[in-house]
Structure 1
Amino acid sequence: MANFLLVHGSCHGAWCWRDVIPALKALGHEAKAIDLPSHGNDPTPAGDVTLDLYANAITAAVDTPTIVVGHSMAGFPISRAAELDPSNIARLVYLCAYVPWPGLGLADQRRKAPRQPLAEAFRVAPDRITMGFDPTMAEDKFYHDCAEALDFALAHLCPQPILPQETPAELGANYASVSRSYITCEDDRAIPPEFQHEMASALPVADQHSLPSSHSPFFSMPDRLAALLSTIAQT
């Protein structure tokens, strides 16, 4: 039995893990999800959000050895959390997520990808504190293989604070001490799968996994995702 903390990506919240949590529990694990600051039901003003505020919310949510799963944008805060306090982080799992590169914020690292499939969908708020995605493009970019979840997702998507995505994750020995796994989503239309493979290549081959999913495997194949996470926990 393992403990899992599930961390959402940009514009999402704990709500996106609604189907994965019961699937993990059915396999005998403990699992919970959190709302990062200014997401979901968290009331933090978007202008107050920093990368370290995200990371501190993650470390505060684990009080026993826990496998921390980060989706998409959450690759940055889970990495930073492991650097700040790795004592209860048993493993990091990057789920079609950004593995931070030295000196680059997420926005800069995204631009290093061979393709920019999300660029046309970005919508920046006039105050430039937050951004979001064109809702008319959401199904194609995020949910094309799980259209039944589209209305639920659109009703819950929230503005994404920009500052955390422009902040490099300062990582060192603490982060390096934590085991890591990567799950590439091979039918992803948000983060190019070939870029995911490039980020995963820093890990041992045994820690590189894949799913034939869109950017939202928590909706498209929650049972299969849970089974893979369970297998990772056993290794």
Structure 2
Amino acid sequence: MTELLLIHGTCHGAWCFDRLLPELHQRGLSARAIDLPGRDGSPTTLDDYVRAILAAASPDTILVGHSAGGYAMTAAAEAAPDRFRGLIYLCAYLPAAGLSLADMRRAGPSQPLMPAIRLAEDRQSFTIDPALAPAAFYQDCPPDLAAWATAQLCPQPVLPQQTPLWPTKAEPLPRHYIVCENDQTIPPEYQRQMAAHVPQDCRHSLPSGHSPFLAMPARLADLLARLCLGILE
């Protein structure tokens, strides 16, 4: 049975999809989320991410990657493209050949997240300033929900975001991109630039900030259900 596997982004975890998963299940979709390794700040590589995703994947998995999760899921699809039915990028980094996620972040028209990043003394991980997190990640969420989410944030290992990819094997897989038009974390114009690498009819948008799984989970679930149906047809 086809399953959606949700991959979180920077400093997040499976918890961020808590409001989305019930909506997906109500629409008859099998879906779950995983924690990527290194959330305790321990040394972690992009290969560790790949192993975690492959261990969680079933034979017909559709991956949904949010933000930095787009990089992790692409790396997993590169490692074993036959394990996946498709890739859905949710305001996510769609890797460019030879660039790391950090390279792509720097290449964007602006870097809204940078003022909120606090690098650890050993330079192996970073966190997000709690005072700046609501504006950085949860622009259109109610204050109490943004506060709850901010309290869940964890350290982000640096190395996975400094590792370049040369995607080739994943490119034949069906790919969709969802632009979040009010995103203040990854500029929407940069998202549209990345989305240009998928076919026109595979580009979609939501009137959302960076975290539609919290701000509009029902609307996001409707869109994901439609995209899954298209991938499986």
Range of TM-score over shorter length: over 0.9
Q: Select the residue among 126, 129, 134 that pairs with 1:134.
A: 129
* Number of residue-to-residue matches in the alignment: 229
User: Which residue identity does 1:146 align to in structure 2?
Assistant: C
Give distance in 2, aligned partners of 1:157 and 1:224: 24
Residue matched to 1:34: 34
User: Which residue identity does 1:193 align to in structure 2?
Assistant: P
- For the 8 Å contact 2:93–2:101, the answer to whether it is kept is yes
Give distance in 1, aligned partners of 2:188 and 2:86: 22
Task: Give the unaligned 5+ runs of structure 2.
Answer: none
Residue matched to 1:54: 49
Per-residue deviation, 1:104: 0.9
Tell whether 2:79 aligns with 1:89.
no
TM-score, normalized by length of structure 2? 0.95
Choose 142-151 or 19-28, whichever is displaced more: 142-151
- For the 8 Å contact 1:93–1:183, the answer to whether it is kept is yes
User: Which residue identity does 2:7 align to in structure 1?
Assistant: V
Q: Deviations over 1:169-219 (max 9, x none)?
A: 2322x2122111000100000000000000000110110001011100010
- For the 8 Å contact 2:85–2:174, the answer to whether it is kept is yes
Give distance in 2, aligned partners of 1:24 and 1:84: 27
Per-residue deviation, 1:64: 2.5
- For the 8 Å contact 1:86–1:175, the answer to whether it is kept is yes
Identity of aligned residues (%): 48
Q: Select the residue among 148, 154, 159 that pairs with 2:150.
A: 154
User: Which residue identity does 2:29 align to in structure 1?
Assistant: H
Per-residue deviation, 1:141: 1.3
Give distance in 2, aligned partners of 1:178 and 1:137: 37
Residue matched to 2:23: 23
- For the 8 Å contact 2:134–2:147, the answer to whether it is kept is no
Q: Secondary structure at the match of 2:47?
A: helix
Tell whether 2:113 aligns with 1:118.
yes
- For the 8 Å contact 1:2–1:233, the answer to whether it is kept is no
Give distance in 2, aligned partners of 1:46 and 1:187: 33
User: Which residue identity does 2:106 align to in structure 1?
Assistant: R
Residue matched to 1:66: 61
Q: Secondary structure at the match of 1:228?
A: helix
Residue matched to 1:101: 96
Tell whether 2:73 aligns with 1:78.
yes
Give distance in 2, aligned partners of 1:154 and 1:138: 6
Q: Select the residue among 185, 199, 206 that pairs with 2:180.
A: 185
Per-residue deviation, 1:2: 4.2
Give distance in 2, aligned partners of 1:149 and 1:67: 28
Give distance in 1, aligned partners of 2:24 and 2:57: 17
Per-residue deviation, 1:109: 0.8
TM-score, normalized by length of structure 1? 0.94
Q: Deviations over 1:103-156 (max 9, x none)?
A: 111111111111111121111011101011111111111112113312221221
Residue matched to 1:199: 194
Task: Give the unaligned 5+ runs of structure 1.
Answer: none
- For the 8 Å contact 2:96–2:167, the answer to whether it is kept is no
User: Which residue identity does 1:3 align to in structure 2?
Assistant: E
Give distance in 2, aligned partners of 1:220 and 1:176: 30
Runs of 4+ in 1 over 2 A off after TM superposition: none
Q: Deviations over 1:24-60 (max 9, x none)?
A: 0000010000000023xxx6x621x101110121111
User: Which residue identity does 1:29 align to in structure 2?
Assistant: L
